Amino acid sequence: MNLSETMNDGVMVVHVKSPRVDAASAHEFRAAIADVAARGHTRLIVDLSAVQFIDSTGLGALVSALKLLGRDGRIVVVGARESVATLFRVTRMDKVFRMHLSNTEAIAALAEGAR
């Protein structure tokens, strides 16, 4: 799985560069987020703008990763295209992982949640 990281206004942004997050890659995806959590980041933006497909296994990996972030952990999603957002909506996980159009919007949402 191809991932990269950037810091944006003090918030860790994990960019998922692989076009698919599925059963073949979910374990690696979860491990990558776990590595970020182990470095002390508890509020993350996951950039899915390059992802064309995600299945429930990939979504489950994101849930698992959220649990690793601990009590104050939060993950928000940016850049999800319609076909990706559909899975979040159908499963109601859009109530857990708020979807945003931009990093700026996502950072503001995380800051709001931290108050």
Q: Which amino acid is at 5?
A: E
Report angle CA 77, 82, 83 to the nearest 5 degrees.
Answer: 100
Number of residues lying near another protein (CB under 8 A)? 26
Q: Scan residues 67-86 and list those touching another protein (CB under 8 A).
A: 67, 73, 82-83, 86
Kindly tell me which of 83 and 104 has the beta carbon lying closer to another protein: 83
Strand partners, 86: none
- How far apart, in whole angstroms, are the C-alpha atoms of residue 44 and residue 47? 10
CB neighbour list of residue 92: distance below 8 Å, 6 or more residues apart: none
60 binds another protein, rule: CB under 8 A? yes
- How far apart, in whole angstroms, are the C-alpha atoms of residue 83 and residue 61? 18
Kindly tell me which residue out of 11, 63, 105, 109 binds another protein, with binding defined by CB under 8 A. Answer: 63
Q: With contacts defined by CB under 8 A, name the span among 7-15, 34-42, 65-73, 105-113 that binds another protein.
A: 65-73
DSSP state of 114: H
Q: How far is the CB of 37 from another protein (least distance, A)?
A: 13
Contact yes or no for 70/42 (Cβ under 8 A): yes
Kindly tell me which of 14 and 65 has the beta carbon lying closer to another protein: 65
Interacting residues with another protein (CB under 8 A): 20, 22-24, 53, 55-57, 59-61, 63-64, 66-67, 73, 82-83, 86-87, 90-93, 95-96
